[in-house]
Amino acid sequence: MRAPLPAAGPQDLGRLRWRCRRGMKELDVLLARYLERYFCSASNREQDAFRRLLETEDTILYAYCLGSQQPPPEFATLIERITAYPASGRGLSSDCNPHAGQRPSCDRNPPPDRKPAGRRC
C-alpha cells in the first residue's frame, strides 16, 4: 500500500498546472478548472488518481470526458467530477488559489477613484 501523499504545495500545484496544459483547449479548461477549484480539498486517493490521469493521452482523455469511451474504474468517479461542474464562474473561491475572490489587476472596470487608461487624442 502506498504512503499518504503530502499536501499539494505551491511548487507541486505549479507542476500540475503545467501538466494540465494539453493539446486541446477543451481539456485545458476542464483539467485546470478541476485543479484550481477542487484538487486541494480532494482526498489523497483522488489527488493521486488525478496525477495518474494526467499521464493519459489527450485523445483518450478527451473521449473519457465526452463519454464516448468508458474510463477505467479507477478514473470513473474523477472524470464525473471533472466534467460535472459548470464552465462559468469568475471570482470563485478556491482552496488552492490564495488570490481567489480578489479583483484581478487587469480588471476592465477600475474603481471609481481611478481613471481608466486610454488614448489621448
Classify 67 in phi/psi space as left (phi over 0), alpha (psi -120 to 50) or beta: left
Q: How far is CA 71 from the centre of its chain?
A: 19
| pTM (two decimals) | 0.65
Is residue 55 in a domain?
yes
Position 118 scores a pLDDT of: 57
Tell me, what CATH number does 29's domain have?
1.10.150.250
pLDDT the model gives residue 12:
85
Cell of 99: 488570490
Nearest partner of 7 among 31, 33, 38, 40, judged by Cα: 40
d(CA 20, CA 22): 6
What's the total number of domains in the chain? Answer: 1
pLDDT (tens, 9 = 90+) of the chain, 121 residues, equals 334 344 567 788 889 999 999 889 999 999 999 999 999 999 999 999 999 999 999 999 999 999 999 999 999 999 999 998 665 554 344 455 544 544 444 444 555 565 555 555 4
**94 occurs within a structural domain:** no
In a domain, 49, yes or no: yes
In a domain, 41, yes or no: yes
pLDDT score, position 23: 85
